């Protein structure tokens, strides 16, 4: 059995001052993937010093205090790839791919389309480039990709679909088309595979008590190559874990 957890921590140094360490020790994942670390590589590794059982890999943005991803892995990866090999997209520390014997684990923090959808066109090109990167990896071995995709895929995946559709970042048709492209390319949305009708969210605005009222969005995913489908035992959204505006998501492999 293998447990993988993904969590947008909204600042690694901030969340380490909360219950994050205790929560992760209780979960005891084999691989922990983090997004929005908001720190440089050395700062990420320093903040995660208590995680002595893990190899720590970090990828930070050129802009300090922004974006950033990390992978904590009990097993040392065979190889690590930083970014996707497209200069335009490789300035913000959004991707790490760790290679293991039987698959790649990819952590991603997909760009937000921004207020007034100012970054939607950029986001659209990013999605296409990232999918190409995943398919190139998949040509070598199966892929598990997790993280904050910054899109609710279907109406079931957000509390107020009609109010948000094609008006706000995260539920525009272009972003939905981007997620469709991942699914149509053979990647399985594990949570929806196991829970086709369950309404559960992974992100809530800090405004207006959205989390306490459960006015949320499901924008954090584990996608897996079709060839791994039968190895996935479960997929969960861990709503009870606090500390960020997101909550962790998790899969277990047989």
Which residues are tagged catalytic? 109, 148
Cα 32 from chain centroid?
11
Three state DSSP letters for 149-196? CCCCCCHHHECCHHHHCCCCCCCCHHHHHHHHHHHHCCEEEHHHHHCC
- Taking the CA atoms of residue 182, residue 187, residue 190 and residue 191 in that order, the dihedral angle to the nearest 10 degrees is 20
Number of H helices, E strands in the chain: 7, 14
β-strand 2-8 against 31-35: which pairing, if any? parallel
The secondary structure of 45-109 as a DSSP string is HHHTTT-TTSEEEEE--SSTTS--EEEEESSPPSEEEES-S-GGGSSS--EEEEE-SS-EEEEEE
Token digits of residue 163 = 């109010």
């Amino acid at each position: 059995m293998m447990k993988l957890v993904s969590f947008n921590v909204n600042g690694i140094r901030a969340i380490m001052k909360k219950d994050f360490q205790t929560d992760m020790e209780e979960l005891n994942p084999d691989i922990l993937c983090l997004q929005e670390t908001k720190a440089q590589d050395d700062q990420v590794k320093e903040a995660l010093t208590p995680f002595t059982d893990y190899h720590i890999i970090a990828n930070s943005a050129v802009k300090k205090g922004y974006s950033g991803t990390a992978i904590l892995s009990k097993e040392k990866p065979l190889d690590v790839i930083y970014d996707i090999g497209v200069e335009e997209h490789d300035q913000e520390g959004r991707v790490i791919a760790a290679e293991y014997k039987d698959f790649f684990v990819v952590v991603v923090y997909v760009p937000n389309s921004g207020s007034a959808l100012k970054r939607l066109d950029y986001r659209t090109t990013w999605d296409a480039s990232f999918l190409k990167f995943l398919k190139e990896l998949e040509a070598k071995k199966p892929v598990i990709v997790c993280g904050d995709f910054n899109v609710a895929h279907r109406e079931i995946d957000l509390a107020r679909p009609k109010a948000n559709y094609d008006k706000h970042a995260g539920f525009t048709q272009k972003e939905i088309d981007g997620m469709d492209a991942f699914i149509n390319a053979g990647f399985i949305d594990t949570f929806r595979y196991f829970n086709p009708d369950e309404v559960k969210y992974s992100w809530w605005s800090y405004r207006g008590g959205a989390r306490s009222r459960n006015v949320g969005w499901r924008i954090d995913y584990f996608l897996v190559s079709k060839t791994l489908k039968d190895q996935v035992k479960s997929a969960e959204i861990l709503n009870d874990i606090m500390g960020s505006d997101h909550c962790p998501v998790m899969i277990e492999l047989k």
